């Protein structure tokens, strides 16, 4: 059957090739996954089960259940001191993935330029292209993978229409502090950029509170914030996220969502209310375990003499690979030593020479995987 030119122009994701290779092998420890190894908090699962037992299996309002949107508004107000109207300024989506997709299709016109800090999450450039936009790669700082106003300027983002990023970052684990974000916000205001801020890893920071760019003066009106339940609440398979934006942007997103999706999964919406309202302790426990693993992995790379900047967010570290050829390194590491990790070049040219190592894996496996990496590099 004919596949559209629009689709054929976008290459398939490079991550899959490594998972397929890994699946064919025995005794592989995977440091390649981008999802929590925990289960969702029991109270959230129970709320989902309860909703099924009561037969709550119909569609919800297009924008999501009103009580969930109220919980989201309360959570965001408490966390960031930002007010979003549950009726007009919040939309519940099928994961952040759908949120980013509908936002790009609703707010980006054909030919619009969207600046994307590099290396970047694999879905962004395809998403921009599917929406008819042009991605503009923006290098980040070499040492810490932070986005700066200077880099935006040098890349020509002053003439762009929008900026799309995620911090805490996938694949590098970098974060942007309040001081880091302030000049980026000023740049966006000065050059009238719409900002798409994917904050899906907002709860997973170590030693720093997450700052949302929407909190800076004049930014709430030009920012779409995406967040969701996949990472902080270990609910990847329940497929639930949300977007916060000014009413006209949410109405535009809902125009696509109501035709393409109707509504996000109902069972997950019940779980999400419980997650937001009653699962802070479980989230704190998961964060503390990620932090222990993060420190372990960083210290092991240091012992091996492998350069790895101190990632302070998400559940990834991004070491430099000895020899610089990340594809060859990842392939040999997998085939000869049974450790799967993702070559940095999958995340764009600026990821070349690095490996994305996920520590969303138990400490025992991490110990064994790091020992195998040590054997390989020595």
The residues of the shown chain that bind ligand PLP, judged by CB under 6 A, are 34, 95-97, 121, 166, 170, 198, 200, 228, 230, 236, 241
327: burial class by Cβ within 10 Å (0-12, 13-18, 19+)?
Answer: middle
Q: Which residue is nearest to ligand PLP (CB)?
A: 95
Q: Give whichever of 86 and 241 is closer to ligand PLP, judged by the CB atom.
A: 241
Q: Give whichever of 300 and 360 is closer to ligand PLP, judged by the CB atom.
A: 360
Min dist. Cβ of residue 228 to ligand PLP (A): 4
Min dist. Cβ of residue 92 to ligand PLP (A): 11
Q: Give whichever of 48 and 300 is closer to ligand PLP, judged by the CB atom.
A: 48
Asked if 315 contacts 290 with a C-beta cutoff of 8 angstroms, the reply is: yes
Min dist. Cβ of residue 341 to ligand PLP (A): 15
Min dist. Cβ of residue 93 to ligand PLP (A): 8
Q: How many angstroms separate the CA atoms of 259 and 247, rounded?
A: 18
Which residue's entry shows tokens 């800076």?
A: 216
Using omega within 30 degrees of 0 as the cis cutoff, is the peptide bond preceding 171 cis? yes
What is residue 145's three-state secondary structure?
coil
Asked if 269 contacts 60 with a C-beta cutoff of 8 angstroms, the reply is: yes
Report phi then psi at 145, rounded to 5.
55, 35
Report phi then psi at 70, rounded to 5.
-65, -40
Min dist. Cβ of residue 218 to ligand PLP (A): 25
Give me the DSSP letters along 298-346: HHHHHHHT-------BTTEE-PBPTTS-HHHHHHHHHHHH-EE-EEGGG
Min dist. Cβ of residue 106 to ligand PLP (A): 17
Q: Give whichever of 300 and 315 is closer to ligand PLP, judged by the CB atom.
A: 315
Q: How many angstroms separate the CA atoms of 339 and 37, rounded?
A: 16
Q: Give whichever of 96 and 106 is closer to ligand PLP, judged by the CB atom.
A: 96
Asked if 99 contacts 126 with a C-beta cutoff of 8 angstroms, the reply is: no
Q: Give whichever of 15 and 300 is closer to ligand PLP, judged by the CB atom.
A: 15
Q: Give whichever of 34 and 173 is closer to ligand PLP, judged by the CB atom.
A: 34
Min dist. Cβ of residue 224 to ligand PLP (A): 13
Q: Give whichever of 237 and 324 is closer to ligand PLP, judged by the CB atom.
A: 237
β-strands 355-358, 162-166 pairing = unpaired
Min dist. Cβ of residue 173 to ligand PLP (A): 11
Integer angstrom CA distances of residue 279 from 193, 202, 207: 36, 15, 21
């Amino acid at each position: 059957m004919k596949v559209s030119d629009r689709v054929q122009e976008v290459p398939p994701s490079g991550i899959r090739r490594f998972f397929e290779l890994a699946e064919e092998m025995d005794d592989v420890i995977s440091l390649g996954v981008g999802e929590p190894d925990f289960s969702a908090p029991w109270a959230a699962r129970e709320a989902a089960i309860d909703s099924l037992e009561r037969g709550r299996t119909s569609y919800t309002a297009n924008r999501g259940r009103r009580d969930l949107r109220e919980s989201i508004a309360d959570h965001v107000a408490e966390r960031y001191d930002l007010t979003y109207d549950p009726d007009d300024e919040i939309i519940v989506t099928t994961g952040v993935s759908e949120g980013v997709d509908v936002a790009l299709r609703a707010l980006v016109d054909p030919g619009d330029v969207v600046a994307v800090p590099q290396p970047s999450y694999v879905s962004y450039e395809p998403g921009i292209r599917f929406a008819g936009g042009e991605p503009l790669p923006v290098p980040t700082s070499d040492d810490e993978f932070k986005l700066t106003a200077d880099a935006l300027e040098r890349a020509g983002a002053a003439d762009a229409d929008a900026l799309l990023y995620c911090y805490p970052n996938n694949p590098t684990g970098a974060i942007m502090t309040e001081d880091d974000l302030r000049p980026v916000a000023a740049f966006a205001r000065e050059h009238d950029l719409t900002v798409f801020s994917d904050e899906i890893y907002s709860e997973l920071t170590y030693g720093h509170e997450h700052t949302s760019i929407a909190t800076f003066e004049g930014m709430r009106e030009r920012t779409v914030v995406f967040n969701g339940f996949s990472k902080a609440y270990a609910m990847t398979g329940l497929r639930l996220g949300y977007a916060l934006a000014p009413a006209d942007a949410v109405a535009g997103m809902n125009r696509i969502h109501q035709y393409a999706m109707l509504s996000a999964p109902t069972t997950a919406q019940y779980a999400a209310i419980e997650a937001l309202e009653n699962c802070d302790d479980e989230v704190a426990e998961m964060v503390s375990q990620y932090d222990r693993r993060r420190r372990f992995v960083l210290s092991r790379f240091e012992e091996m003499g492998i350069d790895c900047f101190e990632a302070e967010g998400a559940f990834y570290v991004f070491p430099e690979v000895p020899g610089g050829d990340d594809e060859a390194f990842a392939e040999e590491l997998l085939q000869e030593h049974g450790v799967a990790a993702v070559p940095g070049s999958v995340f764009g040219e600026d990821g070349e020479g690095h490996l994305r190592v996920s520590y969303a894996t138990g400490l025992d496996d991490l110990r064994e995987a790091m020992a195998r990496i040590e054997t390989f590099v020595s």
